């Protein structure tokens, strides 16, 4: 057997959760990848993958083996890229998943500059407001916009943050009760972002004492895209808390008005996530560094819950 190929097959099966998916990713037949795993297990004299007709899982030995060979394969990938790139820039395709609004407004222009700067790089960008499974769906980088991140085994880098504003149309504000304090929002029709970690829970800092308050709002319209809020807001159907970048043009034209500007809402953070065995690859580091610089955001290492 090709021992290195066998290790690559084993890790890909562990990532994808099936022989068929791993075979597609590696451009192999299911029979060929099965033969590689059988030969690897025969060489080691122990079962690495427990197979049933419905599912597969790694054995205890398989879990241990995966953690050790991943370090080896990562080092080899990095060494291969380093040697190939001597005298050249980073190369290869980087698959990126990102939220739709952020992707359209901020990310796409930055990627255009990335492609012009690094002619040997290519990008496969997928815009989707659901939380993608980076490993299972084969992404190199997932960009997430949220207040915090849940614990996971992924490597997360905080690229920066976005301010948010509370906005409504002048028509909506004219026909509804005044809003002078965040608690007044309880009597209003709030437009909610359904992909938020806590839909309808809005946080504001009280300017009088610097303390944060949480308001549980409600409304008739929930949507998983910030861009899909714009027309509803302009038509006077409610009030919402949204990233400023989504509505700054509407504010400038007078289509929307800022409300409670003195009560600062929590910022949304922008995170770049990647799988532990891939985040050190040169092409991934290059793209993440470039986006952080182009988007003019501070960056620092980030651990969930810090």
Per-domain boundaries in the chain: 3-84, 92-155+268-301, 164-265
What pLDDT sits at residue 197?
63
Q: In the predicted model, is pLDDT for residue 300 greater than 60? A: no
C-alpha dist (Å) from residue 258 to 20, 168, 172, 264, 285 = 53, 7, 12, 12, 38
Does 164-265 match 92-155+268-301 at the fold level?
Answer: yes
Predicted confidence (pLDDT) per residue in 190-220, tens digit = 999 887 667 789 999 988 888 999 999 999 9
Predicted confidence (pLDDT) per residue in 72-91, tens digit = 887 777 677 666 665 566 88
**Domain 164-265 = CATH 3.40.190.290:** yes
Strand partners, 50: 57
Q: In the predicted model, is pLDDT for residue 159 greater than 80? A: yes
Q: In the predicted model, is pLDDT for residue 133 greater than 50? A: yes
Please check whether residue 19 is in contact with residue 13, taking contact to mean a CB–CB distance below 8 angstroms.
Answer: yes
**Domain 3-84 = CATH 3.40.50.720:** no
Q: Going by C-beta distance under 8 Å and a sequence separation of 6 or more, which residues neighbour residue 168? A: 233, 236, 238, 239, 240, 256, 257, 259
Tokens of 31: 């029979």
Please check whether residue 27 is in contact with residue 41, taking contact to mean a CB–CB distance below 8 angstroms.
Answer: no
CA 162/CA 146 separation, integer angstroms: 9
CA 199/CA 58 separation, integer angstroms: 36
Architecture of domain 92-155+268-301: 3-Layer(aba) Sandwich (3.40)
Strand partners, 81: none
Closest CA to 49 of 5, 16, 4: 16
**pLDDT-based confidence at residue 295 (cuts at 50, 70, 90):** confident
Closest CA to 262 of 178, 180, 172, 147: 180
What pLDDT sits at residue 233?
95
């Amino acid at each position: 057997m090709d021992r290195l190929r066998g290790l690559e097959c084993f890790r890909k099966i562990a990532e994808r959760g099936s022989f068929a998916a791993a075979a597609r990713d590696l451009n192999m037949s299911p029979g060929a990848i099965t033969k590689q795993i059988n030969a690897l297990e025969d060489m080691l004299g122990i079962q690495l993958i427990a197979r049933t007709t419905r599912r597969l899982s790694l054995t205890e030995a398989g879990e241990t083996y995966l953690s050790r060979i991943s370090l080896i394969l990562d080092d080899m990938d990095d060494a291969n890229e380093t040697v190939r790139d001597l005298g050249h820039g980073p190369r290869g395709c980087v698959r990126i998943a990102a939220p739709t609004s952020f992707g359209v407004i901020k990310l796409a222009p930055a990627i255009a500059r990335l492609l012009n700067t690094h002619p040997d790089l290519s990008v496969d960008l997928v815009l989707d407001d659901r939380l993608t499974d980076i490993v299972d769906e084969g992404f190199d980088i997932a960009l997430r916009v949220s207040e915090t991140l849940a614990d996971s085994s992924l490597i997360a880098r905080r690229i920066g943050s976005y301010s948010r504003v509370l906005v409504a149309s002048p028509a909506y504000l004219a026909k509804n009760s005044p809003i002078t304090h965040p608690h007044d929002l309880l009597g209003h029709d709030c437009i909610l972002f359904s992909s938020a970690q806590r839909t309808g829970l809005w946080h504001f800092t009280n300017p009088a004492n610097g303390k944060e308050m949480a308001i549980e709002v409600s409304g008739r319209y929930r949507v998983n895209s910030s861009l899909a809020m714009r027309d509803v807001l302009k038509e006077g159907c409610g009030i919402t808390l949204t990233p400023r970048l989504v509505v700054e043009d509407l504010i400038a034209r007078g289509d929307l008005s800022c409300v409670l500007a003195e009560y600062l809402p929590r910022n949304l953070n922008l995170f770049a996530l990647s799988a532990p065995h891939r985040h050190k690859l040169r092409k991934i580091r290059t793209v993440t560094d470039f986006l952080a610089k182009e988007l003019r955001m501070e960056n620092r290492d980030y651990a969930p819950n810090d």
